Each structure stands twice: as structure tokens, then as C-alpha cells.
Chain A
């Protein structure tokens, strides 16, 4: 067995040599510092360091789980994340498909560039725009509402609207940028497949389902799986900018809680523990999803 193994490695030595530098990189720059996650089990401070700080076991996790609003925070994070998955994940794909149908190159180029502009604006700016847009006094949306004879709604202060605001504004900001990768994938689809489908009598819409989507399915699945791995990682900046005490009920997420903790300063251990919790959940989900994906679509990350 050993000899066969060795032979295999020798035979493919070039491939392994191509992988090796990168692997080294990951080990040095990711896995070595990741050992620092150990501080989640300590009462860490920078002066006593990792080796000198006191070991406290599950204390921080206990603290997290006994936080009375823990479920609220977890629930909000999950809900927003799932909404974003359901609405925000397909959107760039659909948009990319639309863009792909554009024949006039100049128009296509211009639109592509414009669509990804908001991605470059920070949430400090976009958050401000959203708040202004929804303002009961001067906001555009309420102007329209007023014109139709109804009372202005204070959107930003109603918990019921908050998640939608987060999801929609995130969609607006990122959908253009998200199309880039799908457009690249679409560019790689063999045109002969389309010709063949047309010969078979498939209309444009049919072609999308029978040629395009299957062709970019690997890309879609990979991105989806990666997304699932980070399910509890919402954009902190976005929610933080939009959050206010009146919508805490639906808006407080894990990351804003971490921020609250971190504001008190020096809480490396507690914040790391919370981060660790998020990661563990992510791992469980990715493993599950990867398995499913392998079964259902034949695609997987590993």
C-alpha cells in the first residue's frame, strides 16, 4: 500500500508542488494565528498573553447562552441572513441573465459599470442615504405616500420594517457587484450548446433553463455553499448604521451585540468566544449543505 501511495505522489509531484506554496501560506497565516482562538477559553489580556492568562473553560460561552436576549439576537441574525439568502442570492444571477441578453455592447458596458457603483460606497454613506430616503419629513418615499393622501410612516422606527429595510438596501448595494462573477461564468458557456438547443426547438426561456443554468450551476453551488458557511456573519456595518433602540427587537444581531461588548474595551476573550460560536454553527451548516449538494447536484466544495 505504501509503495502504491508513494508512486502516486511521485507521479503527480507537479500538481502537489503547485499546491504546496499555497498550503504553506494557509498554515502559516491562517492556522497558526487561529490557535489564538484559544483565548475564547481564557480571561485573556495582552499583558499576560496567551500563555499567562487564566484558563476559564466554558465561562464565556455560558455567559453568552445565559444572555437573556440571546435567542432574540440569534433569531434576528438567522432571519435576516435567510431573507438575504432567499432574495439576495438569486438576484445577481437573474440580473446577470438579463444583462447577458443585451446585444448593444456599449449599453451593456455602461450598465455593468453603473450597477456596481453602490458596492464602493461604504455603509456609513448608504446607511445615511437609506435613513434620509425613509425620513418621515423629507424622505422621498413618504413624499409619495403623502401625495396619495396617506399619513407618512416612520419606517426606521418600526420593528416590523427593519429586516426588510436591511435586506432591500443590501440587495440594492450589492446586486451589481454580485453579477460580475456570474457574467464571467456565463462568458464561459459554450455557444454550441445554445445552437444545439435552438435546433431542438427550445425558445429563449427554455434555453435558460436547459443550457445556461446547468452550465453555471457549479459556480452557483459553490457560492451558495460558501454563503451558508458564513450564515451568521451579517454585515455588521450595515446593521449598525441602521439600528436604533426602537427596532432592537428585530434588529439586534450577534455582531452588534459583540460591538456592544467590545465597546467596554478589552473583552478579547468574550468577543472571540462569540465569534467561535458563529463559526461552529457555520461549519455544521456547511458540512450539511455540502453533503446535500453533492447528492442533489453533484457539486460540492470538497
Chain B
């Protein structure tokens, strides 16, 4: 017994140390970028910035945030992310529930169809023409509908649903619930971990989306955040000699760093907020007898 608790203690120690070290390696680049975003141009250029700001200044954030377009696009992104994710979860979980039943006739066939969509890439021009013909061009729908259900997320959700003991769904049916009711009242509440996870995946996908917006949207007022941010960064010397690149008094690097922070901070805080749904033993006490 004593030996066991020693080795257990050693393991716990090791675990903490290991995780801390690993976290540090992940954290440092981010801290560096954060520091740089608050640093003055010359300081960054001269490589003086490591983990603390040098020549503290808010000018980088000013450059990024004083832009009216950024705020509008921020709103667009939040809107698309929230609304889009809700729709994603709704349709994905609905379909996943239906497909979770392993012996449903035709299931295999449908699964194959879905898997194939993950392996074959849709070429750009036909996708564009489809969106155009559906009249979604230059609307926010074009950012939501074409990605309504991700095959990958769907398959994962199916797998999660299959992990729910059949006893529970059987009990519900005996109590008179139809499939929809079972789905909504029993399965969904029990699936908070997976819903949170898949929801996070979808949300991050929406938040980071860039290429779709470039393709389908023409009205600058409808651009999501990532588009606006990336275009705000002047290419530091492209090889094609277009018109003169302007003189920049501030360091582009500083603005670039501020851009990264602005672009990622909002979505970063989502995960911690949903972590509480990853409660172990969510099903404790539900399958008795």
C-alpha cells in the first residue's frame, strides 16, 4: 500500500511538472505577441521585446481598433458565429441522432455518402456558381448555409450518441416518448460534453473563416472580422511591384501582433466558459435497474 501511494505521489508530481512545462512552451509565443502588441515600433524592430512590452504604447491597438470597419466586421463575426453555431448544432445533432441507431436500414449507405464528402474536395468554381444560383451571394447566408453540417463533426457526434446507454432511450420510449422527444429531452441534455465540443469546433470554424467570405461577399459592410483584419495588414514587400507601398512610421509588426490578439482573444475565452459542462459522471444515477 505504501509503495503504491509513493508511486502515485511521484506520478502526480511528475504530471504537474510536465504539464506546467508544456504549458509554458505554448504560452511563451503568445505572451511574446501580447507584449509586442503593446510595444513601440522601434523596440520591436530592434528585437528588444521578449515577454514584456518595451516602450509601452497603445498605438498598435489604436491603429487596429480605431477603424470603424473593424467594429462592424466584429459584429458580423459574432453574429455569424452565434447564429451559425446554433443552426449547426441543431441540424447536426438531429441528423446524428437519426444515424446513431446502428441497425437502421440504409444507414451504411448514408454514412458512406457522408464519408466521401470528407475525402473529395469540392472545387471552388462550381461551389461559387451554386451559391450564386441560390441567390446567397453577398449575403451572410453564404457564410452559414454551405457549412451547415460538417461531415467530420457529424460523425463524431454520432459516435458520442452511440455511447449513450440504450437503456436510457429504451426507458424513454416505454414512457411514451417519440424519437423527437427522446432526442430533445433525454439525449441532448446528456450530451453536453459532446455538444460543447462540437459547438466549439463549429464556433471556431465560423470565427476563423476567411476564404468563404472573400469568395462570396462583395459588400465590405458584410465582411467578417478575419477578412478585415488580414486586409488591414499591408504586405511587407510583395514581390510584385504594385503601386508604392507607403511609408509606415509605426512598425507593421506591432500592428500585426495587435491584430492577432484582437482576432483570437474573443474565441479563446469561449472554451473556458464551456469547460464546466465537461462534468464527469453526467450520467451518474440515470441508469439504475
Inter-chain contacts of B121 with A (CB < 8 A): 275, 279
Name the segment of B37-45, B53-61, B69-77, B99-107 touching the other chain: B99-107
Name the segment of A70-78, A94-102, A159-167, A240-248 touching the other chain: A94-102
Asked if B130 and A29 sit within 8 Å, CB to CB, the answer is yes
Contacts A31-B117, A176-B26 given: A22-B275 contact, CB under 8 Å? no
Asked if A187 and B119 sit within 8 Å, CB to CB, the answer is no
A213-251: contact bitstring with B at CB < 8 Å (1 yes, 0 no)? 000001100110010011000000000000000000000
Q: Which of A139-170 contact B (CB under 8 A)?
A: none
Inter-chain contacts of A50 with B (CB < 8 A): 126
Inter-chain contacts of B120 with A (CB < 8 A): 34, 37, 276, 279
Inter-chain contacts of A218 with B (CB < 8 A): 159, 162-163
Q: Give the CA-CA distance A184 to B149 in the complex, in Å.
A: 20
Inter-chain contacts of A29 with B (CB < 8 A): 130, 145-146, 148
Is A117 in the interface zone, CB < 8 Å from B? yes
Q: Give the CA-CA distance A73 to B272 in the complex, in Å.
A: 41
B103-133: contact bitstring with A at CB < 8 Å (1 yes, 0 no)? 0110110111111111111110111011000
Q: Give the CA-CA distance A204 to B11 in the complex, in Å.
A: 10
Contacts A36-B126, A98-B19 given: A222-B104 contact, CB under 8 Å? no
Contacts A18-B95, A18-B97, A30-B122 given: A112-B271 contact, CB under 8 Å? yes
Asked if B115 and A286 sit within 8 Å, CB to CB, the answer is yes
Report the nearest B residue to A116, measured CB to CB.
B271
Is A86 in the interface zone, CB < 8 Å from B? no
Contacts A114-B26, A115-B22 given: A25-B125 contact, CB under 8 Å? no
Tell me how far the C-beta of B125 lies from the nearest C-beta in chain A, rounded to whole angstroms: 6
Asked if B282 and A187 sit within 8 Å, CB to CB, the answer is yes
Tell me how far the C-beta of A148 lies from the nearest C-beta in chain B, rounded to whole angstroms: 20
Tell me how far the C-beta of A116 lies from the nearest C-beta in chain B, rounded to whole angstroms: 7
Which of A95, A181, A204, A229 lies at the interface centre, i.e. has the most chain B CB atoms within 10 A of its CB? A181
Inter-chain contacts of A276 with B (CB < 8 A): 120
Asked if A226 and B98 sit within 8 Å, CB to CB, the answer is no
Asked if A19 and B26 sit within 8 Å, CB to CB, the answer is no
Q: Give the CA-CA distance A196 to B119 in the complex, in Å.
A: 42
Number of interface residues of A (CB under 8 A): 82
Is A16 in the interface zone, CB < 8 Å from B? yes
Q: Give the CA-CA distance A145 to B135 in the complex, in Å.
A: 60
Asked if A117 and B11 sit within 8 Å, CB to CB, the answer is no
Inter-chain contacts of B252 with A (CB < 8 A): none
Inter-chain contacts of B15 with A (CB < 8 A): 98, 101-102
Name the segment of B78-86, B177-185, B217-225, B242-250 touching the other chain: B177-185
Asked if A188 and B130 sit within 8 Å, CB to CB, the answer is no
Report the nearest A residue to B14, measured CB to CB.
A98
Is A172 in the interface zone, CB < 8 Å from B? yes
Asked if A184 and B119 sit within 8 Å, CB to CB, the answer is no
Contact with A121, one of B25, B29, B125 (Cβ below 8 angstroms): B29
Inter-chain contacts of A102 with B (CB < 8 A): 15-16, 19
Contacts A26-B149, A286-B119, A302-B108 given: A222-B91 contact, CB under 8 Å? no
Contact with B126, one of A19, A23, A33 (Cβ below 8 angstroms): A33
Is A85 in the interface zone, CB < 8 Å from B? no
A260-292: contact bitstring with B at CB < 8 Å (1 yes, 0 no)? 000000001000100110010011001000000
Inter-chain contacts of B101 with A (CB < 8 A): 15
Contacts A19-B98, A114-B27, A226-B152 given: A204-B278 contact, CB under 8 Å? no
Is B227 in the interface zone, CB < 8 Å from A? no
Inter-chain contacts of B264 with A (CB < 8 A): 120-121
Asked if A101 and B12 sit within 8 Å, CB to CB, the answer is yes
Asked if B123 and A120 sit within 8 Å, CB to CB, the answer is no
Which of A25, A35, A107 lies at the interface centre, i.e. has the most chain B CB atoms within 10 A of its CB? A25
Inter-chain contacts of A46 with B (CB < 8 A): 125
Q: Give the CA-CA distance A188 to B11 in the complex, in Å.
A: 24
Contacts A218-B159, A218-B162 given: A15-B179 contact, CB under 8 Å? yes
Asked if B98 and A268 sit within 8 Å, CB to CB, the answer is no
Q: Give the CA-CA distance A222 to B160 in the complex, in Å.
A: 10
Q: Give the CA-CA distance A125 to B264 in the complex, in Å.
A: 13
Tell me how far the C-beta of A212 lies from the nearest C-beta in chain B, rounded to whole angstroms: 12
Report the nearest B residue to A128, measured CB to CB.
B29
Is A68 in the interface zone, CB < 8 Å from B? no
Q: Give the CA-CA distance A190 to B126 in the complex, in Å.
A: 47
Q: Closest 6 interchain pairs by CB?
A: A36-B126, A22-B95, A302-B111, A18-B98, A14-B179, A19-B98
Chain B positions near chain A (C-beta within 8 angstroms): 4, 8, 11-12, 15-16, 18-20, 22-23, 25-27, 29-30, 33, 91-92, 94-95, 97-99, 101, 104-105, 107-108, 110-123, 125-127, 129-130, 145-146, 148-149, 151-152, 154-156, 159-160, 162-163, 178-180, 183, 193-194, 196-197, 200, 208, 260, 264, 267-268, 271-272, 275, 278-284
Given contact pairs A30-B122, A229-B119, enumerate 19 new A-B contacts (beta carbons under 8 Å).
Answer: A9-B105, A19-B110, A22-B92, A22-B154, A23-B110, A26-B114, A29-B148, A31-B117, A34-B120, A36-B123, A37-B120, A114-B27, A121-B260, A172-B26, A187-B282, A188-B283, A279-B121, A286-B119, A302-B108
**6 A-B residue contacts at CB 8 Å?**
A37-B120, A101-B12, A111-B19, A121-B260, A185-B163, A301-B115
